[in-house]
Amino acid sequence: MNERPLIVRMRRTRKPRPAASSSASQTPSPVGFPSVDATSATATGTPGTSGIAVVWEQDVLPAAMNAADCLRLGKDDVRIWSLVLLARRVPHRLERGAGPPRLIVPLRHTQRAVREIASYEHENRQEGRPLPEPVFRENSSQTLLVLVCLALFYAISSTHWQLFGFWPADPVDWIGRGSANAYAILIRGEWWRCLTALTLHADIAHLAANLVVGAFVFVPLMRELGSGTGWALTLCAGAAGNFINSQAFGARHDSLGASTAVFGAIGILGAVRGLREHGLSLRRAAVPIAGAAGLLAFLGAGESLHGGRVDVGAHFFGFFAGVGLGACIGLYYTRCGRPPVFAERLFAAGALAAPVVAWCLALSY
C-alpha cells in the first residue's frame, strides 16, 4: 500500500506594529499629498545614520516671484497662485501664520509649480493686476496751506506791494512779466512763463473758482500720491499744458491762471485711480479717465486775457498732460511700489523751488 507524504502548510503571520507614540504628531493631508508623518514630511534621517536630514519639500514663492517678474505680492496673490496649482493638479500646501505666507511644494514638483505660476502671470499680464490699496497720508492741512499761499500771492500781485517798504521801488507788472504769452515763450524763449502763469489770476472770482475746485481735487491727489510727488506732477502737467497751448494757438495767444494745473491734477487722479482699481486693462481703466474728462467738460471754465474768453485749450492740454503723467506714475507703482522717502522729499523740494526760480527769472529778465 502506497503511503502519501504528509505535507504541512505553515502560514506566515506578520508581527503587529507598535502603537504610535503620543509624541508622534500626524499632519492633515495637504492638497495633493498623501497622509504622512509630520517628521517625514519635512525631513527624515538616513537609515543607519543620525543627524542627516533629507528635505522633501520647498517654499516656491521666491522662485515663482522671480520667474513671474513680481517684486511684491498682494494679500490675495498667494491664494490665487494656490488655486492655479490646484487647477493644474500640482501637489502643494499653503501655510499662513504670523510670518509671511509660504507655498510648500514637494521637491520633484517645484519646477513645474514655478512654470505654472509664471505661465499664469504672463498670460494675465495684459489684463494686469490692480495696485495694492493706497496708504492715504493725512496731509490735507499742508495742501490747504499751499492754496492759502496762492491766495496771498494774488493779494501781492494785484497791489503795489513793497518788501520792507522800499522794494521794489516801482510797481511790478506781474501779469506782463508772468503770463503765458505765447510770443514770449516761443520767440523770446521765456519758458518760465509756463510756470509763473499758474500763480496769476485775472480777478478775485477767477481765484475763488480755482481755489474751490482745486481744494476738491488737490486734497485727494496729495493724500494718495504724497505731497512731493503730487505737487511735482501737478506743476509739470500745468506747465506742459501752457506750453502745448502756446504751440497750438500761435504767438498772439496769452493766458493765465491755476486752472491748467487744476485740470492736470484731475487727469493725474483719474489715471492713477483707474490703474489702481483695474490694473493694466485699458478698457476698464478708461472709465475713471472718462469720468475725469466729463468733469473737464463740466468745469472747463477759466480766464483768458482776450476779453475774458474761456481758455478751453489750456484746460484740455493740461488735462491730457495729467493723464499721461498719471499713467506713468501708476505704471511705476505697479512695478516698483511707492517711491522711497528721499525721492518724495526731492520731489517736494523741486515743486517748492520751481515757481520761486521761475519768478526770479521773470523779474530779472
- Strand 102-106: give its sheet, edge to edge: 57-59, 102-106, 93-95
pLDDT at 173 over 90: no
State the architecture of 51-123 in CATH terms: 2-Layer Sandwich (3.30)
Burial of 259 (0-12, 13-18, 19+ CB in 10 A): buried
Contact in structure between 319 and 292 (CB atoms under 8 Å): yes
Predicted local confidence at residue 23, as pLDDT = 42
pTM of this prediction?
0.61
What separation in angstroms does the CA of 271 have from each of 109, 289, 327?
Answer: 41, 6, 5
Contact in structure between 215 and 259 (CB atoms under 8 Å): no
Burial of 105 (0-12, 13-18, 19+ CB in 10 A): buried
- The more confident residue out of 202 and 290 is 202
- Residue 201 three-state SS: coil
C-alpha cell belonging to residue 334: 505697479
The answer to whether the 51-123 and 140-364 domains have the same CATH topology is: no
Q: Across the chain, what does the average pLDDT equal?
A: 75
- The more confident residue out of 185 and 163 is 185
Q: What is the DSSP string of 3-39?
A: PPPP--PPPP-PPPPPPPPTT--BPPP-BTPPP-BHH
Q: Which contiguous run of DSSP H or E holds residue 305?
A: none
- The more confident residue out of 60 and 148 is 148
Low-confidence winner among 71-75, 232-236, 334-338, 343-347 (lowest mean pLDDT): 71-75
Burial of 196 (0-12, 13-18, 19+ CB in 10 A): buried
Q: What is the DSSP string of 277-296?
A: HHTT-HHHHHHHHHHHHHHH
Give me the CATH code for the 140-364 domain, please: 1.20.1540
Predicted local confidence at residue 118, as pLDDT = 85
- The more confident residue out of 229 and 300 is 229
Locate the domains of the chain by residue range.
51-123, 140-364
